[in-house]
Amino acid sequence: MDANTRTTPPREQQALALFERHVAAFTSGNLDAVLNDFGEHAVVITPDGVFEGPEQIRALYGGLLAEFGTIDRGDSPGLTLDALHVRHDMIFITWHAESMHKVFPFGTDTFLCKGDRFERQTIAFSTPHPRQGTVG
């Protein structure tokens, strides 16, 4: 069977629904909804370090939401998904984004899901540069 025509298994459907909920929470600037997507013992690894548990993940995503503002409201141009692949309980994405002050030419995340929560996430991105007309 061609990889593009296979039937999506229920576990992958659940992972995709979780990811879509996560993106909606992020673009609406809803920190509590973003955090609700993570399990109690979740770990997020970024170029800046390892964030473990609700308090550290709150600090990480609080900073990200401060950088991007409420995308749905137009605070920043936001996030564009360039690739999305789901297999079993794993999600892989590539993206590019513009926050209120920076351009991120390339980024990638991997999520590991357990039920309806993320247990692991990795985030990596190329060095951002200032948006035209902004400082910082």
Domains defined for the chain, CATH in brackets: 10-130 (3.10.450.50)
Per-residue pLDDT reduced to its tens digit, 96-110: 999 999 999 999 999
The answer to whether residues 93 and 112 touch, using CB atoms and an 8 Å cutoff, is: no
CB atoms within 10 A of CB 26: 22
Residue 107 tokens read as 């980024």
Q: Which of 119, 121, 90 is nearest to 11 (CA)?
A: 90
Average pLDDT of the chain?
92
What is the predicted pLDDT for the residue at 3? 55
pLDDT number for residue 127: 94
Helix-, strand-, coil-residue percentages of the chain, each rounded to 5: 30, 40, 25
pLDDT at 88 over 60: yes
Both tokens of 53, joined, read 């548990």
pTM of the model: 0.89
